[in-house]
Amino acid sequence: MSQKHLFLSTGAAGAVLMLVLTGCATKGGQVGPVTGSATHRGNLQRTGHYPGPGPREITDTVLTVTRPGKLGFGAGTASPAIVNGIAYFGGADSCVHAADIKSGRLVWSVPLFPGPYGLGATPAVASGGLYCGGMDSLFRALDARTGKERWRFRTGGEILSAPAVTDGLVLFGSNDNSLYALDMGTGEEKWRCVTGGDVTSSPAVADGAVYFGSYDSCLYAVGEKTGTVMWTFRAGGIVEGGPAVSDRKVYFGSADRHIYALAADSGRLLWSYPTDSAVVVGPAIADGVVYCGGYDGRLYALEAETGKEMWRFQTPSRIMSAPSVAGGVVYFGSMDKALYAVATETGKELWRYETGAFPVVCSPVVVDGVVYFGHLSCPKPGLKPGALIGLK
């Protein structure tokens, strides 16, 4: 890192501590022992349901880690992985970073990706390793303490699918139409499931099965150990976002303007709910309710058992942020440059945080009462860079 600047500013949410990264070179620090794990949407079932409360109002400080760059792949489109007080995230500076979430101190920063692009999806942390895919078609395993590379594996396309680490395997999709299973220790390919389109969907894992979508308009269920296809369900449009699994049911959205519920063991259609536009992100499942947003700018709350609408919340622009739920609050971002907090029972807005910069498209992460999210940056000079933000 060539230089850094710390400064305080104030905004609608209170004081802001900002760490600006102005370049990226390998920084040789290390974090303490990494004993926990972190994965996209909070669990392998991808329900987006986080334990403990989240903020019902913003009353304390806001921690912002920001860096200039071109398009904000990384902290903009990918959620951070947070474990043992460290946030792991990518930036438009082509680096992967590890930052202390209490102070904003950058512990290490490693340049991995060529050009302006970087981390394509939320990384996973497990057994002391950091697992991440890139826009350069490479999947990498790093030492979570130091950022040192352990192994790499090349696919045939960009990787926009968040990995799932389970039972010694790393599972992820690639834009070469495939879902991969690699040995988490060596990077050796164990199996590969080839579909008819790009796989940007982040796989969900439950009861020995892996569920994921493809641009061929199908949702797939394959065996975790073998990759053998158990069943497929064809929707009327691409399945871009990842599915969520709860109570032996699989929930997902499609570009065909529907939210679906299927039986997890057979792929049998249980119900479908029509929206007014494409649904390109995965749903959240909590306490018998499905929460999902769409291009129509609406967040829908549906009964998980029947698909009956409970309420809907309208934003001014598209929702490309998979919602997260904690303590009776749904958190999600919108293309209108804001993060929203909505009460799960009523669908009423509790608060919104306006970035003043660019859209919020990543899925929020809730840890210890703080909600973390990123927003995009823009290549135009003089405009605000993308940022990783924590609110409480």
Q: Give the DSSP letter string of 57-121.
A: S--S-EEEEE---SS-TTTTTSPPEEETTEEEEE-TTSEEEEEETTT--EEEEEE-SSTT--B-S
343 pLDDT more than 50: yes
**How many other C-beta atoms lie within 10 A of the C-beta of residue 361?**
24
Task: Give the three-class secondary structure for 392.
Answer: coil
Residue pLDDT, tens place only, 212-230 = 999 999 999 999 999 999 9
């078609």: which residue's tokens?
137
Predicted pLDDT at 257: 98
pLDDT band with cut points at 50, 70 and 90 for residue 27? low
pLDDT score, position 75: 43
Tell me the pLDDT band of 15, cut-offs 50, 70 and 90.
very low
Cα distances from 56 to residues 43, 331, 340, 342, 390, in angstroms, run 23, 10, 11, 9, 14
Q: Is the pLDDT of residue 381 over 90?
A: no
Domain of 328, CATH number, reads 2.130.10.10
Q: Higher pLDDT residue, 37 or 116?
A: 37
Averaged pLDDT, 280-291? 98
Q: Please say if the pLDDT value at position 149 is more than 70.
A: yes
Token duo for residue 384: 């605000």
Q: What is the DSSP letter of 134?
A: B
Other CB atoms within 10 Å distance of the CB of residue 56: 13
Residues with Cβ within 8 Å of 381's Cβ and at least 6 positions away in sequence, in order, are none
Question: Model confidence at 325, in pLDDT bands (50, 70, 90)?
Answer: very high
Confidence of residue 19 (pLDDT cuts 50, 70, 90): very low
Tell me which of 2-16, 81-95, 125-139, 252-266 is least confident.
2-16
Q: Burial of 277 by CB count in 10 Å (0-12 exposed, 13-18 middle, 19+ buried)?
A: middle
- The answer on pLDDT for 68 being more than 90 is no
**Percentage of residues in the chain having pLDDT higher than 90:** 69
pLDDT for 62? 58
User: How sure is the predictor about 32, in pLDDT bands with cuts at 50, 70 and 90?
Assistant: confident
Whether the pLDDT of residue 389 is over 80: the answer is yes
Q: Give the other-Cβ count within 10 Å of 30's Cβ.
A: 16
The DSSP 8-state label assigned to residue 167 in this structure reads T
* CA 182/CA 159 separation, integer angstroms: 14
Reported confidence tier of residue 35, pLDDT bands at 50, 70, 90: confident
Give the closest residue to 132 by CA, choosing from 187, 76, 191.
187
- What pLDDT, on a 0 to 100 scale, did the predictor assign at position 8? 24
22 pLDDT band (50/70/90 cuts)? very low
| Domain membership of residue 381 as a residue range | 4-391
Q: What values do phi and psi take at 84, rounded to 5?
A: 55, 35
Domain count of the chain?
1
Q: Residue 377's pLDDT is what?
A: 55
Q: Which structure tokens are listed for 265? A: 């063991």
Which residues touch 283 (CB under 8 Å, ≥6 apart)?
48, 244, 251, 252, 253, 259, 290, 291, 292, 322, 323
Look at residue 9 and tell me whether its pLDDT is greater than 70: no
